[in-house]
Amino acid sequence: MISLFAPAKVNLYLHVTAKREDGYHLLDSLAVFPAVGDNVRVEDAAALSLEISGPFGAVLQAEADNLLLRAARLLAPGRGAALHLEKNLPVASGIGGGSADAAAALRALSQLWALNAELPPLALQLGADVPVCLASRPARMQGIGEILATVPRLPEFGMVLVNPGVAVPTPAVFKARQGGFTPAANLPKAWTSVDAMVTDLLNCTNDLQTAAIGIQPVIGEVLDTLTALPGAKLARMSGSGATCFAIFATPAEAAAAAAVISHPGWWRWGGGLYEQTQPDL
């Protein structure tokens, strides 16, 4: 049996730099991985099966096309395994939950089946966000998400995540986006303090935020709530929403700030970044 943690992905900024002929958008985005996520477990079995548990599991029960099963079929068509997903992250929420699960399944199954497959190209076939989730370490995403560049050295910082319980489908947000393009950000080699990082992040944007608020105005309320938290240095939406984050000086400060948010139906979390322990691909 192999068990893997599938951390959420947060886009600290997301610039849409251009649009491709096929409709996909070119991005420049800084993705980080907080220490909150789903759990994926795989075991030997004759047939391919998936069992789902966890607080957000029910949402996915009815869907035949889970990304975990798609990942398994892509990796080795026809091979069996019993998959289990503990779904702790809200679904269709801009923090890459499905992508994180697919990436964890690729890793876990290639180990279980003792395969030598090149995982990054397979990851991209499952979604633009899956390559960065396969790495599960801070990365600058470019291209449509498949080009992973190094990021400035990060200071220790804390983060609060809030999701208002509404699903926002990624294609709808890209479609609703108006306005031009934003150039790639100009970032230093290292940030030696949270404040230095926040100063640069304030010069960046999430180019999908306005469109997402147009689709789900409650995102504006989430951003106001995060901005008002004592110690919050910056509040912004992640990915295509609806999850938003706020940056704090330390993980402990973020955990304390998250604990006071008690809006019914809102999911919240506070802490620091996930420390990557998996080997490089």
Ligand X SMILES: Nc1ncnc2c1ncn2[C@@H]1O[C@H](COP(=O)(O)OP(=O)(O)O)[C@@H](O)[C@H]1O
Question: Annotated binding residue at 164?
Answer: no
Per CB under 6 A, which region of 42-50, 79-87, 88-96, 159-167 contacts ligand SUD?
Answer: 88-96
Which SS3 state, helix, strand or coil, does residue 144 take? coil
How many other C-beta atoms are found inside a 10 Å radius of the C-beta of residue 170? 19
Per CB under 6 A, which region of 25-33, 63-71, 250-258, 272-280 contacts ligand X?
Answer: 63-71
Nearest approach in angstroms of CB 179 to ligand X is 21
Does 169 bind ligand X (CB under 6 A)? Our answer is: yes
Does 35 bind ligand SUD (CB under 6 A)? Our answer is: no
Alpha carbon distance 5, 3 (integer Å): 7
Alpha carbon distance 197, 195 (integer Å): 5
Q: Which residue type is seen at 196?
A: A
Closest CA to 77 of 48, 116, 98: 48
Q: Which of 239, 270, 271, 272 binds ligand SUD (CB under 6 A)?
A: 239
Catalytic residue among 9, 28, 38, 207, which? 9
Q: Which residues contact 91 (CB under 8 A, 6 or more apart)?
A: 56, 59, 60, 97, 98, 167
Nearest residue to ligand X, using CB?
98
| Whether 189 is catalytic | no
**Count of positions (residues) in the chain:** 281
| Whether 38 is catalytic | no
Q: Are strands 48-53 and 81-86 parallel, antiparallel or unpaired?
A: parallel
Tokens of 44: 């030997």
How many other C-beta atoms are found inside a 10 Å radius of the C-beta of residue 42? 23
Does 131 bind ligand X (CB under 6 A)? Our answer is: no
Does 134 bind ligand X (CB under 6 A)? Our answer is: no
Does 27 bind ligand X (CB under 6 A)? Our answer is: no
Contact 25, 144 (CB under 8 A): yes
Chain positions 64 to 103 lying near ligand X, rule: CB under 6 A, are 66-68, 85, 91-99, 101
Residues in touch with ligand SUD (CB under 6 A)? 11, 14, 23-25, 27, 29, 94-96, 99, 127-130, 144-145, 170-171, 174, 239-240
Residues in touch with ligand X (CB under 6 A)? 60, 63, 66-68, 85, 91-99, 101, 129, 169-170, 239-240
Give the catalytic positions in this structure: 9, 129
